[in-house]
Amino acid sequence: RGRSVDTMQLFLGSLTVLCALLAVGHARPERLTRRNDLMIIGGDETTIEKFPYQVALLHFNNFRCGGSILNENFILTAAHCLYDTRITKMTVRAGSTLRYKGGQLFEALNLYYHPDFTKSKLQHDVGLVRLDGALTFSETMQPVPLVPVGASPSVGDTITLSGWGVTKVGDRPPTVLRTVQVEVTRHWSCRLAYSLSATVSDQQFCASASGKDACQGDSGGPAMTAGGQQVGIVSFGRGCASWIFPGVYTDLSNAEVREYIDQVLGGTAEPYTPAW
């Protein structure tokens, strides 16, 4: 009997999501929203002292993405933030609540992203930036601890996001760091929601909350557990704070994702070299 109830709940849940998809299908955007186009929806202003691992990635001096400090020399971000990027024009600002001034500013020495990353599918969406100097750690600049491999988030877990992404679709990114909390959603329902436009794999998890989300400009930023470990990287979504389409995050507990990070840190991965 218990199994019959679970099966019926699964069927009804699937039917609800499917009906919603059909209802909005005619209005679907042509492509997914890479969160580097986006801001924190429904969040609050905060300070870098509360998120000392947060950094801002700049391209041609314009804010592009978020990221997190892995160690004195490396920044963790999303692969799509680095794709087709001129390394000579990439800089990283660390240790500042404001995205446009303060803290320390470094040029990028090397860019890395997973060799299996594709811009169209947004799988293997993990990248790293090697700085041209070493960060000086302080109360405003600290490395972020990563979750253990295999410690994937559970449904209902609270995830804390931070960044300078837009607070409203179509607005300009804010100047002050912001934060918001969302909850991990069921993987099957997220996979179903995106089934017409994208693949949500085991390398990813999804999270949402009513009226809250990461948005444009938050891409590459950290998704943190309640215990203060980074469990995800802001990757993509459709729109912002949509009840149908949760935000999608690269899962840092995934063994394949972590293997690539270890390869970069260990010096065995090749840096990205643009063809132009």
Which of left, alpha, beta for 12 (phi over 0: left; psi -120 to 50: alpha)? alpha
Cβ atoms < 10 Å from Cβ of 207 = 28
Distances (CA, A) of 115 to 98, 218, 273: 33, 23, 12
Of 215, 206, 139, 146, nearest in space to 174 by CA? 215
CB 142 within 8 A of CB 52: yes
Within 13 Å of residue 214, how many CA atoms lie on the same side as its CB?
A: 34
Q: 176 phi and psi, to 5 degrees?
A: -105, 140
* Distance of alpha carbon 108 from alpha carbon 110, whole angstroms: 6
Which residues belong to the active site? 80, 125, 219
CB 237 within 8 A of CB 35: yes
Of 240, 238, 237, nearest in space to 248 by CA? 237
Q: What is the token pair recorded at 208?
A: 């949402």
Distances (CA, A) of 6 to 3, 9, 10, 13, 269: 5, 5, 6, 10, 45
Residue whose structure tokens are 């800089």: 91
